[in-house]
Amino acid sequence: MDIGREPTHQALFTPLGLWSGWIHSTGSGWMWQFAEAARSQHFTQCYELFQQAIKALGTPAFDLAQVEFEGSSMPVSESVVMETEFCRLRRFSCKRGRSGRTARSILLCAPLAGHHAVQMREVVQWLLPHADVYVSDWVNARDIPQTAGDLHLDDVVLTLQHFMVGLKPAELDVLAVCQATVPALAAAARLVAAGYPEPRSLVLLGGPIDPRRNPTPLTRMAGSLPPSWLDALGTHIVPSGYRGSGRRVYPGFLQYPSLMIWQPERPFLLLFDYIQSHGNGDPEAAREAERSIAHYGAMLDMPAEFILDTLRVVFQQTLLAKGIWRVAGSPVRPDQLRETRLLTIEGSRDTISGVGHTHAAHGLCVGVPAERRRRLTIAGCDHYGLFGGPTWRTAVYPVVHDWLVG
C-alpha cells in the first residue's frame, strides 16, 4: 500500500471476496473453469478485473518507517542497492544507538511464488534491530518489457549468487523462505565452486528441497501436472497497456485460487484478526491486520518459463534432491559446503511444503559438520506461521535470532 494512504475497508476485502466467491461457486471444477478463462476470449476481461481489484489495495510497500526495540524507536532507511530487470535488492537498516558495533548483514531470499516480497515485512521488522536486512524483491512480470528477455529458474539462482557475492558472503547470513530455499541453497553451493567464501549461515524455512517426502496435495498435483497443460491453459500473454505487454506469464488471478484451495483457512484467519483487533480497540493491531490482508491479496504475475522450470526441476524431476541439478552448465554441489551453519525449520501443519521437505537439505549438505547443523519442526505451525503472526514471533523468530544474530 502507498505510504500515508490507507485502503478503505471495502477495498481490503475486494480481492478476497471476489475470488473466493468465484472459487466456491465453481466447486470441484475450479481449475478447469479458470483454465478455460485463461485460454478463452474472456482472459483479458478476467485479467483486467483482477488488476482493478488489487489496485484498490494500493502499491505494495514495506512501509517500515521505524522499529521498536527495548523501549526505543529506531528510524529505518530503505534503499535499492542492486537490481536487475527482474529483481531489486532492497536494503533496510536502522540506527542502533551508540554501540559503534558493525551491523550484521542478512540476505532475505523472498520466494517468487505469487506474492510480492512485502509478505516478508514482519521478518524484516523483527530482524532489523540486530542486522541490516537485504530483501530480494521480485518485479511483477506484467511490468517487465519483453526486451529484458526471459527469467528461468537458473537465472534466479544466478541472481541470488550475484547478490551474495556483492554482499561479501563470508560476512553474510542467508535466510530463504518457501520456494526460495531451492535457488538459495543452489546459489550458496555455487559460491564454493566459483572460489568464493561460503555464507556464514543458511536458514531455510518451509521449502521444497525434496517434495517427495511426505507429499502434500499441492506437491502431488505439481508432481503429476503435465507442463504442457499448465503452459497451454495456465499461462497467457500480458494484455496491452502494461510495460510487459506480450510477455507470457502465469497470471496472479490464476494463482489466487490455488492459495484458496491449499490453505483455505488463511483468508478467514486474516478476517478474524481484523475483526478481533477492531473489537479490542487496538488501533496498532488493526493496522497490522489490514496490512496483512492487503499484502495477501496483492498478487504478481510470474514469468511463464520460470514457473514451468520450477514445476519440472523441483517437483517432477526433483533434480536438487537427487543431486543431479546443473545450473548454467555446472553441477549444483551442496556437499561442498563446509563452513556454513545450516538451520532448517518446518511447520507440522504446513500443507504447502510438508514435513521433511526442508530438512532434506541436511542430507545434501553432508560436508557441514553435525555440530553446525540444526533442524526444528514447530508443532501446530502452518506455512504462513513460519514467517508471520504469533507463531513466527514466539516460536520461529527466537530460534532464527539465536542462530543468525545471537
| Rg, C-alpha atoms of the chain | 20
Residues 333 and 293 in one domain: no
Over residues 318-366, the pLDDT tens digits come to 999 999 999 999 999 999 999 999 999 999 999 899 999 999 999 999 9
Report angle CA 69, 73, 76 to the nearest 5 degrees.
Answer: 100
Mean pLDDT of 228-254: 87
Task: Tell me the three cell numbers of residue 322.
Answer: 537427487
pLDDT value of position 326: 98
By the 10 Å C-beta count (0-12 exposed, 13-18 middle, 19+ buried), 382 is classed as buried
Mean pLDDT of 81-102: 83
Element (H, E) at 94: strand 87-94
- Residue 239 in any domain: the answer is no
Task: Tell me the three cell numbers of residue 193.
Answer: 565452486
What pairing do the DSSP bridges indicate for beta strands 131-138 and 201-205? unpaired
For residue 140, count other CB atoms closer than 10 A to its CB.
20
Task: Tell me the three cell numbers of residue 254.
Answer: 490464476
Q: Is the pLDDT of residue 369 over 60?
A: yes
- Residue 344 in any domain: the answer is yes
Q: Is the pLDDT of residue 2 over 50?
A: no
Q: What is the C-alpha separation between 148 and 142, in angstroms, rounded?
A: 12
Please choose, from the candidates 211, 217, 393, 383, the residue with its C-alpha nearest in 3D space to the C-alpha of residue 310. Answer: 211
Confidence of residue 95 (pLDDT cuts 50, 70, 90): confident
Distance from the Cα of residue 96 to its chain's centroid: 28
Over residues 96-143, the pLDDT tens digits come to 665 545 679 999 999 998 888 998 999 999 999 999 999 999 999 999
pLDDT value of position 406: 60
Q: Name residue 333's beta-bridge partners.
A: none
pLDDT value of position 225: 85
Reduced to 3 states, what is the DSSP secondary structure of residue 21?
Answer: helix
Domain of residue 258 covers 12-33+48-56+254-300
Instruction: Output the 3-class SS for 211-235.
Output: CCCCCCHHHHHHHHCCHHHHHHHHC
Residues 267 and 210 in one domain: no
- Residue 195 in any domain: the answer is yes
Which residue do the cell numbers 521498536 mark? 68
Q: To the nearest whole percent, how much of the chain has pLDDT over 70?
A: 76
Task: Tell me the three cell numbers of residue 59.
Answer: 502499491
pLDDT value of position 11: 43
Residues 310 and 282 in one domain: no
Q: Is the pLDDT of residue 267 over 80?
A: no
Q: What is the C-alpha separation between 34 and 26, in angstroms, rounded?
A: 9
For residue 224, count other CB atoms closer than 10 A to its CB.
9
Mean pLDDT of 160-184: 97
Report which residue type is found at 9. H
Task: Tell me the three cell numbers of residue 125.
Answer: 521488522
- Report the CATH number that the domain containing residue 308 is assigned in CATH: 3.40.50.1820
- Residue 204 in any domain: the answer is yes
Q: To the nearest whole percent, how much of the chain has pLDDT over 90?
A: 59
Chosen domain end from 300, 318, 337: 300
Confidence of residue 303 (pLDDT cuts 50, 70, 90): very high
Task: Tell me the three cell numbers of residue 180.
Answer: 526460495
Task: Tell me the three cell numbers of residue 282.
Answer: 487496538
Chosen domain end from 300, 335, 360: 300
Residues 263 and 124 in one domain: no
Instruction: Please say whether the beta carbons of 34 and 250 come within 8 A.
Output: no
Q: Is the pLDDT of residue 254 over 90?
A: no
Over residues 375-399, the pLDDT tens digits come to 999 999 999 899 988 999 999 999 9
Q: Is the pLDDT of residue 178 over 60?
A: yes
Residues 142 and 102 in one domain: yes
Reduced to 3 states, what is the DSSP secondary structure of residue 168?
Answer: coil
Mean pLDDT of 165-179: 97
Average pLDDT in the chain: 84
DSSP state letter for 386:
G
Q: Is the pLDDT of residue 6 over 50?
A: no
Over residues 18-77, the pLDDT tens digits come to 444 444 444 444 444 555 555 555 777 777 777 776 666 666 788 898 898 877 889 999
Q: Which residue has the higher pLDDT, 8 or 250?
A: 250
Residues of the chain by 3-state class (helix, strand, coil), percent to 5: 50, 20, 35
Q: What is the C-alpha separation between 338 and 188, in angstroms, rounded?
A: 11
Residues 175 and 291 in one domain: no
pLDDT value of position 22: 41
Q: Name, of 28-42, 252-266, 309-323, the range with top average pLDDT.
A: 309-323
Residues 260 and 182 in one domain: no
Please choose, from the candidates 301, 291, 297, the residue with its C-alpha nearest in 3D space to the C-alpha of residue 112. Answer: 301
Largest CA distance in the chain: 62
Residues 131 and 186 in one domain: yes
- Residue 330 in any domain: the answer is yes
Chosen domain end from 300, 334, 363: 300
Q: Which residue has the higher pLDDT, 10 or 214?
A: 214
Please choose, from the candidates 157, 149, 218, 148, the residue with its C-alpha nearest in 3D space to the C-alpha of residue 183. Answer: 157
